């Protein structure tokens, strides 16, 4: 960065320990006295008070060389885990508060007790610090920060500009392709619905460039009047350009001008007795009206804005976001940030906005039902990111206030539904605890299943569920590696999967316990190692016996174990549950607990099958050419283009191989020798 008053646009995709382009690294890794995780690291002491004293010591040591500049600080645990990421206008003044923990809440005190080191990155301005903080929180996901859990990318509509015949298509992800992007849309369904209707109003091609180039006759899209047929010359370039301009104008908010123009052309065609042409314009006008009719709540005066409203209840929060672009409502989405119960709405909303707009273009206006913490700083940071003015507004009256109230109502209702679902989930987990004689409702349930075809492409799969439902970010797959396992041996595969999983957990627990000096080997180590409360294996007594053997071999204790098998004739609803040294259990067919266990088993089966199919498809896509040293993707492509198939390459003669572009005599000899080793 050349000047401090013009920050580098975000997002920043940085490794956690790398210097930041546009920011100055302080040059100090504030790790007092020891390397975290080594034998000299003191670890957490006996009791919370001792832990706080050691955390304060680490913080005070860091303060000795802490700069008084703007920047971002990271608080690290004994094993290097990032506990918290924060930003400050003055790093030294901000971090000094942690060295004086009087008056801090319990959650912050626990964080201080776990802190063993600090790292900082200095920035030129507080705005840069805020942008960097949001990026690091989103990427590192520290457990003491407010976290945006649902962070899927949003779909857009794109009119491409890298082809003489522009394409109208849905786009998600990085905007690498040249073109104009319109959005965001709240969901795939909303963009699909809009795109489907837009194709009726503006029949632009939706096919890929390769399909477009290969067409020799009109496709079905042309037959149903959703494409003008440029691939086979059914429309000239000038007329197609008019369609592109109209589509661009409509998506940019100039819908009234587009509709007026179509209406005038329809009337002119009718006056000339060109009734078929007039009917085409009529149908296009109806399609545009259909798009606008499905926009839901709409305010003509709001051209480009996000409406964000938060509602908090029972220590949880829901943030509802409505997207308005081109004067149209393009959908809404609910978010449920993860945070401590002591957090207020302003703090949660501020943290949410920083992470939400880290990889999304902010609109010109953001309407809020509450002012977020540091709202002026957030507005300045978003303006820097967008390279134009972004206005944060908390309306008190008028149409904008009605929009905010509508969003807040949606947030309140969504949170009520979630709390009801959570209560239902808690009741199910209580019943599971009773069924399996657990000490309390399980926080983590792991379910295991295998998938293969006659022993080939064998994989093991683990899914995880807990109080908040399926935890898909914790799912794991295991490629079966043991060559001594007989193909199709489900018991052997289950043994390998469980052995690898729990051997890794035991290793993580041992590392955590080595840093404890008070003999407390239980809760902290198990949480750090992601230990389950209940393990379910898909199968019967054989799978249960295999799992018990692994647990006995590794010395695993304190984890409930069970197997769930389909009943006679594999009928769903007649499942049998097998427990170690206990009679089998058969639940009532309509038991809620049975339905819950069925869902867990079916999800594990779905994940296992999907992973197996992906591995099998990848193997089938490979050919013998991939095993030849010196034949990379380019040479492989040249060979297949020349001969047509890998089988033809295999039977080709040496002279034929040498005639391929890019294949030297030496490489041709390698290929020939690979397929003719006897020669």
Under a CB-based contact definition with an 8 Å cutoff, are residues 654 and 669 in contact?
Answer: yes
Where would I find the beta strands (DSSP E) of 441-533?
445-453, 456-466, 469-470, 476-479
* pLDDT tens, position by position, 206-233: 888 888 888 888 888 888 888 888 998 8
362 pLDDT above the threshold of 60: yes
Binned at pLDDT 50, 70 and 90, residue 516 comes out as low
Instruction: Give the domain CATH number at 521.
Output: 3.30.420.340
Please provide the DSSP assignment of 535-592 as one string. EEEESSHHHHHHHHHHHHHHT--S-EEEEEE--GGG-TT--EEE-TTS--B---TT-H
The CATH number given to whatever domain includes residue 670 is 1.10.150.20
- Name every residue whose Cβ is closer than 8 Å to that of residue 558 and which is 6 or more positions away in sequence: 531
Give me the count of residues in the chain. Answer: 679
What's the pLDDT score for residue 650? 80
Q: Are residues 470 and 589 in the same domain?
A: yes
- The vertex-609 CA angle with 606 and 612, nearest 5°, equals 145
Tell whether the model's pLDDT for residue 20 goes beyond 50. Answer: no
Question: Which pair of structure tokens corresponds to residue 232?
Answer: 């086979």
Same structural domain, 247 and 128 = no
Angstrom distance (rounded) from CA 257 to CA 144: 52
Question: Binning pLDDT at 50, 70 and 90, where does residue 562 land?
Answer: very high
Q: Which of 80, 107, 140 is the last residue of a domain?
A: 140
- 3-state helix, strand, coil split of the chain in percent (to 5) is 45, 15, 40
The predicted pLDDT at position 522 comes to 41
Grade residue 290 by pLDDT with cuts at 50, 70 and 90. low
User: Quick check: is 176 in a domain?
Assistant: yes
| Whether residue 395 has pLDDT greater than 60 | yes
Q: Which two tokens stand for residue 574?
A: 């007649």
Evaluate whether residue 435 is within a structural domain.
Answer: no
The answer to whether residue 299 sits within a structural domain is: no
CATH number, position 65? 3.40.1440.10
pLDDT mean across residues, the chain = 80
Let me know: does 414 contact 318? Beta carbons within 8 Å.
yes
The answer to whether the bond into 184 is cis (omega within 30° of 0) is yes
Range from 249-253, 493-497, 504-508 that averages highest in pLDDT = 493-497
pLDDT at 150: 62
User: Over the stretch 444-485, which tens digit does the pLDDT of each residue have?
Assistant: 999 999 887 766 778 889 999 988 888 888 899 898 888 788
Judgement on whether residues 208 and 175 belong to the same structural domain of the protein: yes
Give 234-249 pLDDT, tens digit per residue. 889 888 988 888 888 8
Rg (CA), the chain: 31
Number of domains in the chain: 5
Q: Name 335's bridge partners.
A: 319
pLDDT reported for residue 151: 58
- Rounded CA-CA distance 138/148 in Å is 7
Helix and strand numbers (H, E) in the chain are 21, 19
Q: What is the pLDDT of residue 104?
A: 82
Give the model's pLDDT for residue 479.
87
* 423 falls within a domain: no
The verdict on 229 and 321 lying in the same domain is no
Q: Report helix angle 48-63 to 106-114, nearest 10.
A: 70
Compute the C-alpha angle 451/452/455, nearest 5°: 140
Tell me: do 628 and 615 sit in the same domain.
Answer: no
Residues 483 and 594 in one domain: yes
With H, G, I as helix, E, B as strand and everything else as coil, classify residue 620: helix
Which of 267, 293, 319 is at the close of a domain?
A: 293
| pLDDT single digits (tens) 23-73 | 333 333 443 333 333 333 433 334 455 578 888 888 988 898 888 999 999
Residues 586 and 455 in one domain: yes
Band the pLDDT of 314: cuts 50, 70, 90.
confident
Q: Does the pLDDT of residue 537 top 90, yes or no?
A: yes
Are 506 and 610 within one domain?
Answer: yes
Q: What percent of the chain has pLDDT over 70?
A: 84
Give 267's contacts (C-beta < 8 A, 6+ positions apart): 278
For residues 352 and 381, membership in a common domain is answered with yes
* Residue 53 lies in domain: 24-140
Return the pLDDT at 49.
Answer: 56
Could you tell me if residue 422 is inside a domain?
Answer: no
Answer yes or no: is pLDDT of 426 > 60: yes
- The answer to whether residue 10 is domain-embedded is no
State pTM to two decimals. 0.60
Confidence label for 533 from pLDDT (cuts 50, 70 and 90): very high
Question: Do 573 and 464 share a structural domain?
Answer: yes
Examine the pLDDT at 107 and tell me if it is beyond 80.
yes
Average the pLDDT over each of 6-20, 44-58, 191-205, 577-591 and give the range with the smallest value: 6-20
Predicted confidence at residue 502, as pLDDT, reads: 92
Distance CA 242, CA 246 (A): 6
Q: How far apart are CA 367 and CA 656, in angstroms?
A: 69
- Least trusted range by pLDDT, from 253-262, 289-298, 349-358, 552-561: 289-298
Q: Are both 482 and 577 inside the same structural domain?
A: yes
Same domain, 496 and 397: no
State what percent of residues in the chain have pLDDT above 90: 19
> What is the per-residue pLDDT for 348?
92
**615-631: per-residue pLDDT in tens?**
776 665 566 677 787 78
pLDDT higher than threshold 90 for residue 636: no
Evaluate whether residue 587 is within a structural domain: yes
Considering 293, 324, 340, which residue would you say is the last residue of a domain? 293
Complete DSSP assignment for 369-407: SSPPTTHHHHHHHHHHHHTS--EEE---SHHHHHHHHHH
Considering 82-91, 245-254, 636-645, the range whose residues carry the highest mean pLDDT is 82-91
Q: Does 55 map to a domain?
A: yes
- The pLDDT assigned to 309 comes to 94
Torsional sign, CA 616, 622, 624, 630: negative
Residues 6+ apart with CB under 8 A from 403: 297, 299, 302, 307, 322, 367, 395
* Residue of 184, 185, 419, 406 whose CA lies nearest to 309: 406
């Amino acid at each position: 960065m050349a000047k401090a008053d013009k920050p580098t646009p975000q997002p920043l995709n940085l490794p956690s320990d790398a210097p930041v382009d546009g920011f100055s690294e302080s040059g100090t890794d504030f790790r007092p006295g020891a390397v975290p995780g080594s034998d000299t690291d003191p670890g957490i002491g006996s009791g919370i008070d001792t832990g706080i004293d050691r955390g304060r010591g680490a913080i005070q040591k860091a303060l000795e060389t802490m700069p008084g500049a703007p920047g971002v600080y990271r608080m690290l645990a004994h094993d290097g885990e990032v506990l918290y990421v924060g930003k400050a206008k003055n790093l030294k003044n901000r971090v000094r508060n942690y060295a004086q923990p009087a008056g801090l809440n319990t959650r912050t005190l626990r964080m201080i007790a776990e802190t063993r080191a600090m790292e900082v990155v200095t920035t030129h301005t507080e705005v840069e610090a805020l942008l960097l903080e949001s990026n690091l929180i989103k990427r590192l996901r520290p457990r003491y920060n407010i976290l945006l859990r649902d962070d899927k990318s949003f779909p857009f509509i794109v009119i491409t500009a890298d082809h003489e015949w522009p394409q109208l298509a849905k786009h998600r992800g990085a905007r690498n392709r040249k073109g104009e992007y319109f959005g965001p849309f709240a969901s795939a369904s909303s963009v699909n619905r809009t795109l489907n209707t837009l194709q009726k109003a503006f029949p632009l091609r939706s096919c890929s460039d390769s399909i477009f180039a290969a067409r020799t006759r009109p496709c079905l899209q042309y037959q149903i009047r959703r494409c003008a047929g440029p691939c086979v010359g059914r429309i000239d370039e000038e007329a197609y350009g008019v369609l592109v301009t109209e589509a661009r104008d409509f998506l940019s908010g100039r819908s009234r001008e587009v509709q007026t123009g179509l209406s005038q052309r329809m009337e002119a065609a009718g006056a000339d007795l060109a009734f078929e042409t007039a009917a085409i314009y009529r149908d296009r006008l109806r399609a545009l009206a259909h798009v606008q009719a499905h926009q839901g709540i709409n305010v003509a005066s709001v051209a480009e804005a996000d409406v964000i409203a938060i509602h908090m209840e029972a220590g949880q929060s829901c943030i509802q976001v409505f997207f308005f672009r081109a004067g149209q409502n393009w959908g809404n989405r609910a978010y449920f940030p993860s945070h401590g119960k002591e957090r207020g709405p302003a703090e949660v909303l501020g943290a949410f906005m920083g992470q939400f707009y880290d990889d999304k273009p902010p609109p010109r206006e953001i309407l809020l039902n509450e002012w977020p913490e540091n709202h002026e700083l957030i507005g300045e940071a978003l303006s820097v990111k967008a390279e134009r003015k972004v206005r944060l507004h908390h309306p008190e009256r008028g149409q904008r206030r009605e929009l905010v109230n509508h969003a807040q109502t949606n947030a309140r209702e969504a949170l009520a539904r979630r709390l009801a679902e959570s209560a239902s989930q808690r009741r199910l987990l209580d019943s599971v605890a009773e069924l399996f004689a657990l000490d309390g409702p399980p926080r983590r349930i792991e379910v295991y299943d295998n998938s293969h075809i006659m022993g080939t492409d064998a994989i093991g799969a683990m899914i995880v569920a807990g109080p908040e439902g399926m935890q898909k970010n914790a799912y794991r797959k295991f490629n079966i590696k043991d060559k001594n396992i007989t193909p199709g041996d489900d018991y052997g595969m289950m043994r390998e999967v469980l052995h690898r999983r729990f051997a890794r957990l035991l290793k993580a627990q041992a590392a955590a316990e080595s840093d404890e000096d008070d003999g407390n080997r239980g809760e902290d180590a198990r949480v750090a190692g992601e230990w389950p409360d209940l393990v379910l294996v898909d199968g019967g007594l054989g799978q249960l016996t295999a799992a018990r053997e692994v647990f006995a071999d590794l010395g695993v204790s304190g984890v409930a174990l069970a197997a769930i098998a389909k009943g006679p004739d594999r009928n769903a609803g007649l499942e049998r549950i097998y427990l170690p040294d206990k009679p089998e259990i058969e639940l009532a067919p309509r038991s809620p607990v049975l339905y819950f266990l069925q869902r867990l088993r079916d999800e594990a089966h779905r994940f296992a099958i999907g992973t197996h199919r992906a591995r099998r498809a990848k193997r089938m896509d490979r050919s013998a050419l991939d095993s030849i040293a010196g034949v990379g993707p380019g040479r492989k492509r040249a060979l297949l283009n020349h001969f047509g198939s890998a089988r033809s390459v295999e039977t080709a003669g040496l002279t034929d191989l040498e005639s391929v572009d890019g294949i030297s005599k030496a490489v041709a000899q390698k290929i020939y020798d690979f397929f003719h080793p006897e020669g």
